[in-house]
Structure 1
Amino acid sequence: MRTEPKPTRLDRIFARLDREPVRPVLDVPRMTRHRVVLFGATLSFYLTIVLAVVTTSWLVRFDWQAMLFRPYQQWPGIHAFLDYWVVLGQRGPTAVMVAAWLGWRCWRQHTLRPLLAFGAALLLLNVTVGAVKYGLGRSGPHYATEVGSNEMWHWFQAGSDIFPSGHTANAVVTWGILAYLASTPRARRWLSALSAVLSLSVGLTTVYLGTHWLSDVLLGWAAGLLILLALPWFEPVIATAEAWILVLRDRWLAAVRRTAPRSAPAPVEAPVAVTPCPTADEEPAPVRETIPQSAARATRAPAYLAPGPHSTRSERTPVTPVGSRRPPHPERHPRGSAPAARPVTGA
């Protein structure tokens, strides 16, 4: 009795993927009124943090208290784990992981929008966060020189580019882009909450390790959120870039097809005529030897030989022989005549 093989879990996953539409309808977020209100509130929070640090307010004092508390000495048991956890905010490893996932989505959905949106978000992150970092020039806790100061305007000192926190902003953008590109509202809500918790935990990890002030983490979280909220304004640019890239791809493929060497067709040899064998009473028909045209061209006399009456065999006119080809024999008689009587010998 033959039994069907039981499908594995991987087979069921691929079977479900095959049932997905080839070109699903993508839900592109728009700049709604709710998003504009969130963008304005986040921008106000961002400016408030910057103003509080520049004016050396209570937030700076709280930064110093958290730094002098030295969390890495209070809870040394989790230090090894948090050394690895903070990698979730580094741009290199996280960008590779997210880009691989979005590249698979591009292949499944036959669109370049996920990767282009991720590239646009990273570009905005580098420009905005990098400009504020080098513009304010705030030193980190390990490079602080005066207790209670805001450690601002140290442009030419080591470690003076930590405000806002790049780890926190990168975690918000890198993991939040998955929520931004989610295909359903429910997935978008869950991924938004997950990216917020993940980015805040990465930021607090930098405070635990003593590499950032607490205000750096708050400003980095607001900076990343501003980029995600502003992405719908760049959707027309992303769509134009996608169309332009596809046009360039089609032109390149057409040029490759035109310049590709075409294989020469195989030479077709002329058919060889087959002459039936003559019977004993019939004279054999003249046999004309037929050779391929390529062989005929190859057997022609070279151009450097002197001209003359010589010609190749294929160029000669066939001559039909006259008469019979049978050799003469004394006992043979011409066709149509009666044989002579044999002499009678003996008694």
Structure 2
Amino acid sequence: MRTEPKLTRLDRVFARLDREPERPAHIDVPKMSRHRIVLFAATLAFYGAIVWAVVITSWLVRLDWQVMFFRPYQQWSEIHWFVDYYVVLGQRGPTAVMVAAWLGWRSWRQHTLRPLLALGVSLLLLNITVGAAKYGMGRLGPHYATSIGSNEMWLGGDIFPSGHTANAVVTWGILAYLASSARAQRWLSAVSAVTSLGVGMATVYLGTHWLSDVILGWTAGLLILLGLPWFEPLIARAETRIFDLRDRLLARRRRTSATPVEAPPVVVTPLPADDRDDVGACSSRAPVYLTPGPHTARSERTPVTPAGSRRPPHPERHPRGSTPSARPLTGG
């Protein structure tokens, strides 16, 4: 009886990945629909409201100070080691490398550059918008606060909004944005939301950000994901130009390898009249070793024995049987 091997969960995952289509035409590129535009406008208004609430030192700033005085890292010190590792999920370098590796595999498998280009555009927008807001408002963090109850704005800081939180929203949210099915998009949206929420709360726990910094970081990351469809035509043009450049380089390389290399022309220098006569005389006489003659087999040739001894002559040696003459004695 023949039994088939039982597939593990990892085998089923790789089997699903192998069925990923090349150049998937069924995946609709997100567009700026009316619903998305409304969400973008509402999120932008919420962004402005948070900034205004911090600028006027409203109840939100008082909540920031209450959470800071609560010192969560002292209240729940037993989870400090876990939070230190978990907050890495919001750091730009490690998360960008992990997500770029996955999207690079998808780009190679589907023969498209859209996943990598979308990631690059989203990170570029993140650096520009969040970086400009950080240095423009210059808010100090909880560990560097100068006066109790103040909003700590325009004092040379760079923590408002939270870069960790915004990066977590964009980096993990781009996976849901590029999902190939509606079910995968729902699951990845939930995972990215929980991950970014945890990263934001981890920064508040460690005391590196105010609570309002985290709220504004979530809003800033969501704005980038909602506005990314505006850049889809730019991504498509960039992909087309990159592929055209690749095709031109490959065609040029093929033409270079197929073209035969021509030998350089040989320049013949004319000789004087006397030298031409000598060359003609020499060329009319064939060398001795090229002179035609009868050819005989080796077995038919007569061996020739050389006359005399093969040993070289030596003046001090005498033939065998002869007595050498006595040498004269010298000395006293």
Where does residue 257 of structure 1 map in the other structure?
A: 254
- Counterpart of 1:194 (choices 180, 183, 191) is 191
Alpha-carbon distance in 2 for matches of 1:103, 1:126: 21
Give the paired residue count. Answer: 272
SS class of match (2:279):
coil
Aligned residue type for 1:189: R
Where does residue 22 of structure 1 map in the other structure?
A: 22
1:292-317 CA distance string (max 9 Å, x none): xxxxxxxxxxx9x822352769xx9x
1:133-180 CA distance string (max 9 Å, x none): 00000010111111111101113xxxx100000000000000000000
Where does residue 174 of structure 1 map in the other structure?
A: 171
SS class of match (1:306):
helix
The offset of 1:107, in angstroms, is 1.1
Alpha-carbon distance in 1 for matches of 2:11, 2:194: 34
Change (3 A) 1:180 1:18: closer
Change (3 A) 1:307 1:4: farther
The offset of 1:123, in angstroms, is 0.3
Q: Does 1:219 align with 2:211?
A: no
Where does residue 310 of structure 1 map in the other structure?
A: 284
1:8-27 CA distance string (max 9 Å, x none): 64666555544443332222
The offset of 1:224, in angstroms, is 0.1
Alpha-carbon distance in 2 for matches of 1:44, 1:14: 43
SS class of match (1:246):
helix
SS class of match (2:140):
coil
Alpha-carbon distance in 1 for matches of 2:104, 2:199: 25
SS class of match (2:280):
coil
The offset of 1:201, in angstroms, is 1.1
Alpha-carbon distance in 1 for matches of 2:155, 2:51: 16
SS class of match (1:307):
helix
Aligned residue type for 2:174: I
Q: Which has the higher helix share?
A: 2
Q: Counterparts in 2 of 1:48-59, with a 5 A limit? A: 48-59=49-60
Alpha-carbon distance in 1 for matches of 2:141, 2:168: 19
Alpha-carbon distance in 1 for matches of 2:21, 2:64: 52
Compute the TM-score of the two structures, normalised by the length of structure 1: 0.73
Where does residue 244 of structure 1 map in the other structure?
A: 241
Where does residue 312 of structure 2 map in the other structure?
A: none
Change (3 A) 1:169 1:311: farther
Alpha-carbon distance in 2 for matches of 1:7, 1:73: 49
- Unmatched tracts of structure 2, length 5 or more: 262-275, 293-332
Where does residue 105 of structure 1 map in the other structure?
A: 106
Change (3 A) 1:312 1:239: farther
Alpha-carbon distance in 1 for matches of 2:258, 2:30: 47
Aligned residue type for 1:58: W
The offset of 1:90, in angstroms, is 0.2
Q: Percent identity?
A: 72
Is the 2:20–2:109 contact (alpha carbons within 8 Å) kept by the matching residues of 1? no
Change (3 A) 1:250 1:209: same
RMSD between aligned residues: 2.6
- Unmatched tracts of structure 1, length 5 or more: 265-302, 319-347
Where does residue 125 of structure 1 map in the other structure?
A: 126
Aligned residue type for 1:135: G
Aligned residue type for 1:81: F
The offset of 1:190, in angstroms, is 2.0
1:316-345 CA distance string (max 9 Å, x none): 9x9xxxxxxxxxxxxxxxxxxxxxxxxxxx
Compute the TM-score of the two structures, normalised by the length of structure 2: 0.76
Alpha-carbon distance in 2 for matches of 1:311, 1:217: 102
Alpha-carbon distance in 2 for matches of 1:63, 1:13: 44
Where does residue 67 of structure 1 map in the other structure?
A: 68
Where does residue 32 of structure 2 map in the other structure?
A: 31
Alpha-carbon distance in 2 for matches of 1:74, 1:307: 110
Alpha-carbon distance in 1 for matches of 2:13, 2:183: 21
1:6-50 CA distance string (max 9 Å, x none): 476466655554444333222211111111111111111100000
Q: Counterparts in 2 of 1:38-53, with a 5 A limit? A: 38-53=39-54
Alpha-carbon distance in 1 for matches of 2:150, 2:33: 41
Alpha-carbon distance in 2 for matches of 1:32, 1:214: 32
Change (3 A) 1:149 1:234: same
Q: Does 1:77 align with 2:50?
A: no
Q: Counterparts in 2 of 1:133-152, with a 5 A limit? A: 133-152=134-153
Aligned residue type for 1:42: T
